[in-house]
Amino acid sequence: MVNADPLLRSALSAPPPAEHGLDALTLGRRIRELRTTRRMTLDSLATAIDRAPSQVSMIENGNREPRLSMLRTIATALGTTVDDLLKPEAPSERAALEIAVERAQRGPVFTALGLAKIRVSRATSDETLQTILTLHHEIERLHRERAATPEEARRANAQLRATMRARDNYFPELEEQALELLTAVGHSGGPVSHQVVADMATHLGYSLHYVGDLPHSTRSVTDKRNGRIYLPTAQSASRDSRTPILQAFASLLCGHDEPGNYADFLRQRVETNYLTAAILLPEKDTVRLLTEAKNLRRISMEDLRDAFSVSYETAAHRFTNLATARLGIPVHFMKVHESGTIIKAYENDSVRFPSDALGAVEGTTVCRSWTARTVFDVPDRFSPWYQYTDTPSGTFWCTSRIEKAKEGEYSVSVGVPFEHVKWFRGRETTNRAVSLCPDESCCRRAPDDLATRWAGQSWPAARTPTSLLAALPTGTFPGVDQTEVYQFLESHSPTH
Ligand SMILES: [Zn+2]
């Protein structure tokens, strides 16, 4: 490697422009490098392949992509093979640097600035090229960061939810991947133990390293170069020890690259969580259990949770993957902060979530009468909470449970339309509520007598909702301190 700078490193290993499937820049450099080692001039190579020198120059500069027949002629003239010319590596470290600078100058960010390109000559030092390249990448990083506005985040959220609804939140390709992995390590049913998960890591060529100094902004860090997954020695009591390992290699299995924007980041997070859940609650076993429960008319999130030793949230969320596609039950899911703010939401049962002008649900406040809110007032935190709610879009039955996290308490709720409650345990509940939201008179506007008494007589200081801050993404991996991660990897790396 020319330089240890991670920005530079990623630039040098950047994939070739996708439109050709062939990297004209690298190919051109390889041809030029061979020509000069053969002590051939541009003219003599041009004569040898029966083309004008200007055409050879275009190819060497990566401005034209030669056809295969021409490539063969060039290879013969240079005494090499087409395969050799098409190798993806730059012919030298210097050439790699020059290619990276050229690629940056051809990129959309630089082009948009309308500046003249810097012509790189032999006299340009490596240091100058490195500085130029680092500046390029910093500008690109700032662009990415600025593009990720809260509006973009909200739009991306809305779009993702629409995609999930269109697929009934069921991803067959990820189910397939989970099955392959479970089969590869010989898992034959039942809950997936920590050991099975560790075997999967080994099967994928990764070793697990438990360390005390994991960057505080991460759950795990994967060193792809050395095949290592770093995990915290201290597990928080509420977290499952299998989940961070699975999430670490789920990204690798899904083939995730560094997210290009916030939408990518969100999609990757959904896929990672999906694959993780599909491994912890294997499709076949889970569908069998749920089908039996459906036949006995006693589907229960608690039973699903206990059968696979997962959190309530994982069980409830997994239920939404399989409910419609495999059991024919439309469903909705919500994770709501104690403040009433929606953190996650999914529906394909026509329940009407509150939403903002951009169609985003996350960050909005849910009706006080909904199960996701009323559950906070129930003193018994052990028994499941059930409720029928009449809403302007129909009557829904929901079950909800509170889970504790660092940022406070959350309710996790699963609900179905009235006509599907017959399959669920808890349908006999007498808890009922009426919600008129989004009508303001429901719970958004204070009752008249209170309003008359207190209007203009109060001055509350707002507490900043954690969810709003979380919706403001910065950096390639929103919320992750990249420098800290690189320094961590550097200090733990077996090879320097
Ligand atoms: Zn309401």
pLDDT band at 22 (very low <50, low <70, confident <90, very high): low
Cα of 136 vs centre of ligand 1, distance in Å, is 50
What's the rounded mean pLDDT across residues 118-125? Answer: 87
Q: Quick check: 314 and 281 in contact, CB under 8 A?
A: yes
Sign of torsion, CA 237 404 198 188? positive
Closest CA to 294 of 421, 183, 455: 421
Is 341 within the bounds of a domain? yes
Cα of 366 vs centre of ligand 1, distance in Å, is 7
Cα of 385 vs centre of ligand 1, distance in Å, is 19
394 and 257 belong to one structural domain: yes
Cα of 437 vs centre of ligand 1, distance in Å, is 4
CA angle 444, 447, 448 (to 5 degrees): 125
Is 39 within the bounds of a domain? yes
Which residue would you say has higher pLDDT here, 479 or 247? 247
Is 154 within the bounds of a domain? no
Is 456 within the bounds of a domain? no
Q: Quick check: 452 and 327 in contact, CB under 8 A?
A: no
Distances (CA, A) of 353 to 108, 345, 359, 370: 38, 8, 10, 10
182 and 39 belong to one structural domain: no
For the stretch 39-59, pLDDT in tens is: 999 999 999 999 999 999 999
Q: What pLDDT is attached to residue 106?
A: 84
256 and 364 belong to one structural domain: yes
Q: Quick check: 433 and 415 in contact, CB under 8 A?
A: no
58 and 174 belong to one structural domain: no
Rounded (10°) CA dihedral 367, 370, 371, 375: 50
Bond prior to 282 in cis (omega within 30° of 0): no
What's the rounded mean pLDDT across residues 129-147? Answer: 81
CA 42, CA 95: separation in Å to the nearest integer?
Answer: 18
> Which pair of tokens denotes residue 141?
């990083």
Cα of 354 vs centre of ligand 1, distance in Å, is 10
For the stretch 276-298, pLDDT in tens is: 999 999 999 999 999 999 999 99
Q: Quick check: 407 and 466 in contact, CB under 8 A?
A: yes
Check whether 6 has a pLDDT greater than 70.
Answer: no
Q: Quick check: 137 and 11 in contact, CB under 8 A?
A: yes
Cα of 444 vs centre of ligand 1, distance in Å, is 7
Domain range spanning residue 178? 162-434
Domain end (from 96, 113, 147): 147
pLDDT band at 349 (very low <50, low <70, confident <90, very high): very high
- Other C-beta atoms within 10 Å of 13: how many? 11
Q: What is the mean pLDDT of the chain?
A: 85
* Full DSSP string of 51-112: S-HHHHHHHHTTSS---HHHHHHHHHHTTS-HHHHT-SS-SSHHHHHHHHHHHHHHSHHHHH
CA 434, CA 418: separation in Å to the nearest integer?
Answer: 14
Check whether 238 has a pLDDT greater than 80.
Answer: no
196 and 308 belong to one structural domain: yes
Domain end (from 103, 123, 147): 147
Residue 272 Cα to chain centre, angstroms:
7
For the stretch 294-346, pLDDT in tens is: 999 999 999 999 999 999 999 999 999 999 999 999 999 999 998 888 989 99
137 and 168 belong to one structural domain: no
What's the rounded mean pLDDT across residues 469-481? Answer: 54
Check whether 464 has a pLDDT greater than 70.
Answer: no
What's the rounded mean pLDDT across residues 213-225? Answer: 85
Rounded (10°) CA dihedral 25, 26, 30, 36: 40
Residue 192 is inside which H or E element, if any? none
Cα of 342 vs centre of ligand 1, distance in Å, is 14
Give the domain CATH number at 360.
Answer: 1.10.10.2910
For the stretch 367-385, pLDDT in tens is: 999 999 999 999 888 889 9
Cα of 418 vs centre of ligand 1, distance in Å, is 19
Q: What pLDDT is attached to residue 170?
A: 96
Q: Kindly list the protein residues that place their beta carbon closer than 5 angstroms to ligand 1, a single-atom ion.
A: 367, 435, 437, 442-443
Q: Could you give the number of structural domains in the chain?
A: 2
Cα of 434 vs centre of ligand 1, distance in Å, is 8
273 and 421 belong to one structural domain: yes
Check whether 474 has a pLDDT greater than 70.
Answer: no
Cα of 387 vs centre of ligand 1, distance in Å, is 15
pLDDT band at 12 (very low <50, low <70, confident <90, very high): very low
Q: What pLDDT is attached to residue 330?
A: 96
Cα of 345 vs centre of ligand 1, distance in Å, is 17
Cα of 298 vs centre of ligand 1, distance in Å, is 29
For the stretch 47-103, pLDDT in tens is: 999 999 999 999 998 888 888 888 999 999 999 999 999 888 888 889 899 989 988
Is 476 within the bounds of a domain? no
Helix 42-49 with 53-60: angle, nearest 10 deg: 110
Is 108 within the bounds of a domain? yes
Q: Quick check: 279 and 182 in contact, CB under 8 A?
A: yes
Least confident residue range of 26-35, 250-259, 349-358, 472-481 = 472-481
Check whether 412 has a pLDDT greater than 90.
Answer: yes
Check whether 9 has a pLDDT greater than 70.
Answer: no
169 and 121 belong to one structural domain: no
Closest CA to 340 of 319, 321, 318, 365: 365
Cα of 371 vs centre of ligand 1, distance in Å, is 11
Residue type for 92, please? Answer: S
Cα of 456 vs centre of ligand 1, distance in Å, is 24
Is 487 within the bounds of a domain? no
What's the rounded mean pLDDT across residues 217-236? Answer: 83
102 and 203 belong to one structural domain: no
257 and 308 belong to one structural domain: yes
Cα of 348 vs centre of ligand 1, distance in Å, is 21
- Other C-beta atoms within 10 Å of 99: how many? 23
Which residue would you say has higher pLDDT here, 453 or 187? 187
Give the domain CATH number at 23.
Answer: 1.10.260.40
pLDDT band at 2 (very low <50, low <70, confident <90, very high): very low
Is 452 within the bounds of a domain? no
343 and 240 belong to one structural domain: yes
Burial, 166: exposed, middle or buried (Cβ in 10 Å; 0-12, 13-18, 19+)? exposed
Residue 211 is inside which H or E element, if any? strand 207-211
pTM of the model: 0.66
- Other C-beta atoms within 10 Å of 266: how many? 20
Contacts of 334 (CB under 8 A, 6+ apart): 342, 344, 345, 346, 353, 366, 372, 411, 412, 413, 415
Residue type for 241, please? Answer: S
Domain end (from 399, 415, 434): 434
Percent of the chain exceeding pLDDT 70 equals 88
100 and 139 belong to one structural domain: yes
Cα of 198 vs centre of ligand 1, distance in Å, is 46
